[in-house]
Amino acid sequence: MIEFYTAQQSQAIDHYAIHQANIPSLLLMKRAGLFSYETLLTHYPKTKKLLIVCGTGNNGGDGFVVAQLALMAGIEVDIVLTGKTETLKNEALLAFQEVKQLGVKTSPFPTDCLNEYDVIIDALFGTGLDREITGDIAHWIEQINAVKTPVLALDIPSGLDANTGQILGTAIKAERTCTFITQKPGLYQFNGADYCGKVHYSNLYLSPEVLHSQAPIAINHPLKHWLNQLPKRPENSHKGSTGSVCLIGGDQHMMGAIQMAGLASLKVGTGLVKVITHPEHGIALTQALPELMCYSPEELEQQVKQTKVIAIGPGLGLTEWGKNLFKESLNQPQPKVFDADALTLLSQQPQQQTNWVLTPHPGEAARLLNTTTETIQQDRITAIKAIQKQYGGVVVLKGNASLIYDGKHLEMCLAGNPGMATGGMGDVLTGTIAGLIAQGMPLFKATCLGVNLHAHAGDIIAQQKGQHGLLPTELASTLSQLMTYANR
């Protein structure tokens, strides 16, 4: 399990460790520097020449500790400082004085020879940065990003917002990031993954009491945790007891969307999957997937009575055909999963229910909140909380590090890959979540399991075949393999 804390919470935990648990601040700095140095040795063992770019705060102090350890190991080190040495204070000053005793002086920024270094250490700004980076430092960052020399960032890449993953003017693009005390959401949200690279985490040996002096803003549970929430099937199970789903959608030219949703529902173990779609689609759908039962829109009310959950949106369209199905489904008492065009229609007539799951991507989230996609991405946690407050139920905000929120619990899924950015992936997720709800899982747990299954299946296929050309139907077929680990 991974717990996430905001920059402000992380600073509060640091303060608690120093003033309540009586851990010297310099000791924490030494631990951060040692962890970073060990990470450097592990992943860049041939390092002979190191550039460490330091700010005048504690992040720079971490860099000075790395410099000291590297120098004692015989590594050549150049240190660039953003300000005058007279501005260094407290622990950062002490760390600088120690490295200075080894004969090192600060150097001007080596504009013309960045390629001569084996690794660059980013110790400019930590999680407390709350303004855009401009001027000479911004120019330095741009030059560092322009060379192929790998960058190891300390705590967070300088210029990346620790809470949101926004870029504050400009930011270091690191190959690896060593983060300390807590995991920050901005390392994974929005631009975080692209700028952090591989994240290495150390709690700096702080006790659970210190670390839990703040409540986490979000949690990531492993897939196995959510698989264990799936009700175990009795030996005398039959198709009527293993859940039933009613999928609604598949307007003309969009039959594939509802087919993929149906495939996913079947692959996660749903006993009966019914599809409400155009009559002319019925034969083609049942030929492709004989396990699907297809009905015309006129039969919706009758068929819904025999199912445990409704999923609407894949290929629904925005014509009168889709609008009528949307209106009719709203009046049904069953739990619902809304995706795609159903979310667009919901944004046009907002209402609140507790018994549904909304699964918007950033563009659909923007329509739900009457804002822009850019605004959603700039603060995804605030966005998902606003959607849930306005519409109720459980909300999934899709994207890298997808978020799930029910008004109380915020879950972050770290699985998934860019190869899943293709049409049809959302339809598979809709069918997956609906199938799990049908099998008796509560909405939040079913959604968390569905998102994790979906993301891990995508990773499995990417590892086997690569990210390019990753198909939603391949992903759906992989779901059943992952389901075999349930209740073990």
pLDDT digits (tens, 9 = 90+) for 178-221: 999 999 999 999 999 999 999 999 999 999 999 999 999 999 99
For residues 478 and 251, give the distance between their C-alpha atoms in angstroms, rounded to a whole number: 27
For residues 233 and 96, give the distance between their C-alpha atoms in angstroms, rounded to a whole number: 63
* Cα 387 → chain centroid: 17
Let me know: does 238 contact 269? Beta carbons within 8 Å: no
pTM for this entry: 0.96
- For tokens 């971490």, the residue is 62
Closest CA to 207 of 369, 59, 21: 21
DSSP category for residue 410: E
Residue 309: what are its φ and ψ, rounded to 5°?
Answer: -155, 150
Encoded amino acid at 154, one letter: L
Closest CA to 21 of 153, 203, 179: 203
DSSP category for residue 281: G
pLDDT tens, residue order, the chain (488 aa): 999 999 999 999 999 999 999 999 999 999 999 999 999 999 999 999 999 999 999 999 999 999 999 999 999 999 999 999 999 999 999 999 999 999 998 999 998 899 999 999 999 999 989 899 999 999 999 999 999 999 999 999 999 999 999 999 999 999 999 999 999 999 999 999 999 999 999 999 999 999 999 999 999 999 999 999 999 888 898 888 888 999 999 998 899 999 999 999 999 999 999 999 998 898 899 999 999 999 999 999 999 999 999 999 999 999 999 999 999 999 899 999 999 999 999 999 999 999 999 999 999 999 999 999 999 999 999 999 999 999 999 999 999 999 999 999 999 999 999 999 999 999 999 999 999 999 999 999 999 999 999 999 999 999 999 999 999 999 998 999 999 887 66
Element (H, E) at 78: strand 76-81
